[in-house]
């Protein structure tokens, strides 16, 4: 039923747990996976009079974010290869991670998004994280929300 699964991550512990579970799920059904990290767009400091000399250029910022994304994907890539399932990863830039996740799912013809219930921005136990909630409202494909019980 599911052949291509999108696994969004923000590098948080809960997101990493969802990635691990998503890889295991993909292994069970022999689906390929695409891991994605959505970084914020570069923000040039326009509201200050003197720009600090250590301010990165847009190219430097994007390279740093791609390196960060690659570090998030290392464990998932190893797990996917060990499980014998195709693995792909990408870092994208957008100030709305949920919109970018939905866009990538459509663009890459994914038939499932496997996402953590919370990431960096929302670790409450009763409500879904804001990005996860927005992904649910934006997507027209199934979204499997992985939730870790704390007790």
- State the residue for tokens 């970084």: 39
> CB-based contacts of 93: which residues, under 8 Å, 6+ apart?
38, 39, 40, 41, 42, 62, 65, 100
Written as six digits, the tokens of 45 are 């400091």
Residue 53: exposed, middle, or buried by beta-carbon count in 10 A (0-12, 13-18, 19+)?
A: exposed
CA distance 19 to 79: 10
Average pLDDT, the chain: 88
Question: Among 2-6, 37-41, 56-60, 121-125, whose mean pLDDT is lowest?
Answer: 121-125
Asked if residue 104 lies in contact with residue 46, where contact means CB atoms within 8 angstroms, the answer is: no
Give me 99's structure tokens.
């919109």
* Calpha distance 133→118 (Å, rounded): 9
Pairwise CA distance, residues 95 & 98, whole Å: 9
- Backbone φ and ψ for 110, nearest 5 degrees, come out as -75, 150
What is the reported pTM? 0.87
Q: What does the pLDDT look like over 13-54, one tens digit per residue?
A: 888 999 999 999 999 999 999 999 999 999 876 666 676 678
pLDDT of residue 44: 76
**pLDDT score at 83:** 92
Q: Check whether 119 has a pLDDT greater than 60.
A: no
- CA–CA separation, 19 vs 124, rounded Å? 19
CA 33 to chain centre: 12
């Amino acid at each position: 039923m599911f052949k291509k699964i999108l696994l969004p991550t923000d590098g948080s512990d809960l997101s990493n747990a969802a990635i691990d579970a998503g890889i295991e799920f993909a292994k069970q059904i022999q689906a390929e996976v695409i891991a994605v990290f959505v970084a914020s767009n570069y923000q040039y400091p326009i509201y200050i009079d003197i720009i600090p000399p250590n301010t990165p250029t847009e190219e430097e910022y994007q390279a740093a974010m791609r390196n960060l994304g690659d570090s998030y994907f290392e464990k998932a890539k190893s797990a996917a290869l060990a499980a014998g399932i195709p693995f792909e990863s990408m870092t994208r830039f957008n100030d709305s991670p949920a919109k970018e996740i939905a866009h990538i799912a459509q663009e890459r013809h994914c038939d499932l998004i496997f996402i953590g219930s919370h990431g960096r921005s929302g670790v409450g136990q009763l409500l879904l994280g804001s990005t996860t909630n927005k992904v649910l409202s934006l997507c027209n494909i199934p979204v499997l929300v992985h939730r870790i019980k704390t007790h």
